């Protein structure tokens, strides 16, 4: 097992290097000259040379790529070309609000989608399954912008249930600002996740070990939770890891 894991990890190194190389080249080709952007249109050649030396932009392309790899591995992202602040400080400043929205939304969406997917899989090809999948497809078909506008209008303006702007209040009051966008994030992602989990669970239900468990007299709930859901965790966990806000 450990040999397999080690082989997969080593096999991923060329892929990671390839992705970083393509990203680096695209940033250099499409992004333009950062020194010119920072110095402005009226900058002298001496100003540009000073900025390039400060940020290491005067090095050959291979040297810049190696610096890029080193900074990525050591989490030393340098300074922002735009604000000249340390990038780590910018990330820290914005990570709190972002994670306080995305992590609760991801957790709630995953749990709800698994529960609905289990129900749909248990009643597959029946009216309940078709109804749930129709709702999921309908939810997927609506733009997230519609959810945002409708949510703000109904829940914030009409019902006055939530605040729609502000964040600096203490944690005891912050839920008023976070609840509405979290609800919107849940509704937006629920249809996609429900259809995916339902298909995974239906595939697992058709396997021989599930048929054997039912033939031995195991109850439907026990079969769904212990035999179906447990064996379907690999694709479920994979999807959750891909969806993590990092």
Specify whether 219 is located in the same domain as 106. yes
Specify whether 136 is located in the same domain as 94. yes
Specify whether 123 is located in the same domain as 143. yes
Q: What pLDDT, on the 0 to 100 scale, is given for residue 161? A: 76
Q: Token pair of 80, please?
A: 């922002």
- From 56, 82, 108, the end of a domain falls on 82
pTM for this prediction: 0.73
Query: Helix (H, G, I), strand (E, B), or coil: what is residue 56?
Result: coil
Q: Token pair of 190, please?
A: 């629920």
- From 82, 98, 133, the end of a domain falls on 82
CATH number at residue 141: 1.10.3720.10
Specify whether 102 is located in the same domain as 63. no
Q: Which residues constitute the domain of residue 7?
A: 2-82
- From 55, 82, 109, the end of a domain falls on 82
Specify whether 189 is located in the same domain as 231. yes
Q: Over its length of 246 residues, how does the chain's per-residue pLDDT go in tens digits?
A: 677 778 877 888 888 888 888 988 888 777 677 777 777 777 788 888 888 888 888 888 888 888 888 888 888 888 887 777 888 888 888 888 888 889 999 999 999 999 999 999 989 889 999 999 999 999 999 888 898 888 888 888 888 777 777 666 566 667 778 888 889 999 999 999 999 999 999 998 888 888 788 788 777 778 888 888 888 888 898 898 888 876
CA separation for the pair 26, 21 (Å, rounded): 9
Q: Token pair of 213, please?
A: 């468990």
Specify whether 124 is located in the same domain as 25. no
- Cα dihedral value 199, 203, 209, 214, nearest 10: 60
């Amino acid at each position: 097992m450990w040999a397999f894991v080690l082989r997969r990890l080593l096999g991923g190194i060329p892929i990671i290097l390839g992705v970083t190389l393509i990203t680096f080249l695209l940033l250099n080709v499409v992004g333009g000259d950062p020194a010119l952007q920072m110095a402005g249109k009226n900058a002298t050649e001496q100003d540009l040379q000073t900025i390039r030396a400060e940020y290491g932009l005067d090095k050959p392309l291979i040297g810049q790529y190696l610096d890029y790899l080193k900074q990525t591995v050591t989490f030393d992202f340098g300074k922002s070309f735009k604000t000249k602040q340390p990038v780590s400080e910018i990330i820290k400043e914005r990570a709190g609000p972002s994670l306080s929205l995305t992590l609760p939304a991801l957790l709630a969406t995953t749990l709800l989608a698994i529960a609905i997917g289990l129900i749909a899989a248990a009643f597959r090809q029946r009216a309940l399954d078709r109804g749930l999948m129709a709702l999921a497809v309908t939810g997927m078909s609506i733009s997230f912008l519609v959810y945002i506008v409708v949510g703000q209008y109904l829940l914030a303006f009409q019902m006055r249930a939530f605040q729609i702007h502000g964040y600096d209040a203490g944690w005891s009051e912050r839920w008023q600002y976070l609840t509405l966008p979290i609800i919107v994030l849940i509704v937006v992602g629920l249809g996609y996740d429900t259809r995916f989990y339902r298909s995974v669970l239906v595939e697992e239900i058709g396997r021989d070990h599930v048929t054997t468990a039912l033939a031995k007299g195991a109850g439907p709930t026990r079969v769904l939770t212990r035999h179906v859901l447990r064996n379907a965790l690999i694709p479920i966990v994979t999807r959750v890891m891909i969806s993590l806000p990092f």
